[in-house]
Amino acid sequence: MHPILISFGNFSIRSYGAMAAIGFVLACLLVNWNRKYAKMSSDQASTSLFVAMIAGIIGARIFYVVEFFDHYRNNPWGIFRIDQGGLVFYGGFLLALAALWGYCRLCKLDIVRVFDVYAPALAIAHACGRIGCFLNGCCWGKPTDLFLGVQFPAGSNPELCYPGEHLHPVQLYESAEQFLLFFLYLYLVRHTKRGVTMASYLTIYGVLRFLNELLRGDNPKVLADFFTPAQVIGLLIVPAGILSLIHFIRHEPKNTELSH
């Protein structure tokens, strides 16, 4: 755990913010690299990224603050310290999705193909962000006896929650999953029918996030004292992803397939 990456006197660069920034830069490069598959101009790709970034940060922070409001009840200024961690992916994903949808409607872009192009970019950005979570000491896992277990420093939130325990590095599990899925989505967006990449992303991420939550040790249970907020959302997203995947595979005309 290294929450502070570099310090220069009173100025410091936090690991979470640095990894989030790296993830965003990589996502920008990928969207611009693949923008032709959604028939976006360079300006449209850049503007859509700006819209998605702002909406994603706001949505992710709102979800986190609502979920852990007691922590901010007497520290309202802490709400704005996103460099210290505290972003809920689903919150950012849903608001960014809505913002992108609005932008695509405004510019008359093919919403589905834009979402296809964004899938590999989201995967690589998320992978980097989860490394930041691990370095920051947030989003920790449950105790484990496996050799993969890690012990966080004394006084850190994971150690205070589970004193002396070795915990699942669930942040790194999810990061590894997203790095691998990045290559899958990159292939799909270039070689499959319209909508298949987007639907695959929704389905696979929803399933993996549901399973990863079983190893998380920091999230509250909200539904029947069993499911976490992310699992509840996953229960809605996975069926939507599966139905979308079936629809696009079966009904999307062949002439919309991408040429190699």
Read off the pLDDT of residues 240-251 as tens digits, 9 standing for 90 and up. Answer: 999 999 999 998
Res 259: pLDDT: 47
Question: In this structure, what token pair is assigned to residue 187?
Answer: 């292939």
Average pLDDT over residues 226-231: 85
Q: From the CB of residue 187, how many other CB atoms can be counted at a distance below 10 Å? A: 12
Res 78: pLDDT: 73
Distance of CA 206 to the CA centre of its chain: 11
Backbone angles phi, psi at 223, to 5 degrees: -120, 110
Average pLDDT over residues 135-158: 93
Res 254: pLDDT: 66
- CA dist 200 and 118 (Å) reads 12
pTM to 2 decimal places: 0.87
Q: Quick check: 107 pLDDT over 90? A: yes
Percentage, residues of the chain above pLDDT 90: 66
- For 17-54, the pLDDT digits (tens) are 899 899 999 999 999 999 999 999 999 999 999 999 99
Confidence of residue 83 (pLDDT cuts 50, 70, 90): low
- For 165-178, the pLDDT digits (tens) are 999 999 999 999 99
Res 175: pLDDT: 97
Q: Which residues pair with 216 in a beta bridge?
A: 141
Q: Quick check: 208 pLDDT over 60? A: yes
Question: In this structure, what token pair is assigned to residue 85?
Answer: 């961690």
Confidence of residue 84 (pLDDT cuts 50, 70, 90): low
Average pLDDT over residues 180-196: 96
Question: In this structure, what token pair is assigned to residue 122?
Answer: 């989201």
- CA dist 97 and 112 (Å) reads 11
Domain boundaries, the chain: 11-190
Res 150: pLDDT: 95
Res 260: pLDDT: 44
